[in-house]
């Protein structure tokens, strides 16, 4: 599946419980959009419980021609709980394709609430990233509860689900298939469709027959000690 197939809308808001890999997905999505010829801005708005942050890959994003919007770019280790004013550029410049990486829980989603009226006036989608290996959201009930809380806090409705089930370098096709089952269960309970599954290229041969397309990703985000 291409990035254009995932991003049928101008703005793509990526959310999900922390640890699901939503930042990795957001970075891969932005890079793929840029490779397909789009003008892309990636907004790093995850200021609550951040672990991986897009700004850690600023050099990579710069080389791809992607505009990075973050609260602090001069000090990568500083997490400032504020929304950068540049976010308005993404919301208002309709020649840009915007990817917004927001906080992975209702507290993080609150960052979008003040912009809700403007976002509702734009062509947007909100994607909820699932990882069946995260204890907090490994059951359909827990995943749905988190999703609904994010919707309530942000004032935005979820458009689609992304199965990003992984165990970092130890991920197997079986992990992704288990995530696909979780995503289907969440979809049945909410009526929100499954947009895609993600997988490293090495895993693609073992992922035939899934009910949604696979979006190939490359691991760019590294643990602090790597």
User: Tens digits of per-residue pLDDT, 64-94?
Assistant: 999 998 865 444 454 555 566 678 888 889 9
Q: In what order do the strands lie in the sheet with 160-163?
A: 67-70, 40-45, 97-102, 11-15, 124-130, 160-163, 194-200, 214-217
Q: Give the whole-angstrom CA distance, residue 94 versus residue 112.
A: 19
Write down the pLDDT at residue 28.
94
User: Tens digits of per-residue pLDDT, 9-38?
Assistant: 999 999 998 888 898 999 999 999 999 999
User: Tens digits of per-residue pLDDT, 90-125?
Assistant: 888 999 999 999 876 666 677 777 788 999 999 999
DSSP-based three-state secondary structure for 168 = coil
Is 90 exceeded by the pLDDT of residue 63? yes
CB 146 within 8 A of CB 19: no
| Residue 192, token pair as written in the block | 């929100």
DSSP-based three-state secondary structure for 115 = coil
Mean pLDDT of the chain: 86
User: Tens digits of per-residue pLDDT, 158-168?
Assistant: 999 999 999 88
User: Tens digits of per-residue pLDDT, 143-157?
Assistant: 999 999 999 988 999
What is the per-residue burial (b if ≥16 Cβ within 10 Å, else e) of 6-41?
bbebbbbbbbbbbbbbbbbbbbbbbbbbbeeebebb
């Amino acid at each position: 599946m291409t990035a254009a197939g995932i991003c049928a809308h101008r703005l793509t808001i990526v959310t999900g419980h922390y640890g699901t890999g939503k930042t990795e997905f957001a970075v891969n999505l932005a890079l793929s959009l840029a490779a397909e010829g789009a003008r892309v801005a990636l907004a790093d708005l995850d200021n609550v419980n951040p672990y991986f942050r897009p700004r850690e890959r600023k050099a990579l994003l710069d080389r791809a021609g992607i505009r990075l919007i973050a609260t602090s770019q001069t000090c990568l280790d500083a997490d400032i709980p504020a929304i950068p004013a540049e976010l308005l550029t993404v919301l208002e410049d309709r020649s840009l394709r915007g990817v917004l990486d927001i906080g992975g829980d209702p507290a993080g989603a609150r960052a979008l609430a003040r912009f809700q009226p403007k976002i509702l006036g734009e062509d947007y989608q909100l994607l909820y990233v699932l990882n069946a290996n995260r204890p907090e959201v490994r059951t359909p009930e827990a995943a749905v509860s988190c999703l609904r809380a994010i919707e309530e806090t942000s004032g935005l409705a979820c458009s689609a689900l992304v199965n990003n089930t992984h165990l970092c370098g130890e991920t197997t096709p079986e992990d992704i298939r288990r995530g696909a089952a979780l995503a289907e269960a969440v979809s049945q309970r909410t009526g929100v469709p499954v947009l895609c599954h993600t997988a490293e290229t090495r895993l693609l041969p073992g992922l035939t027959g899934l009910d949604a397309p696979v979006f190939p990703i490359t691991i760019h985000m590294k643990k602090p000690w790597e």
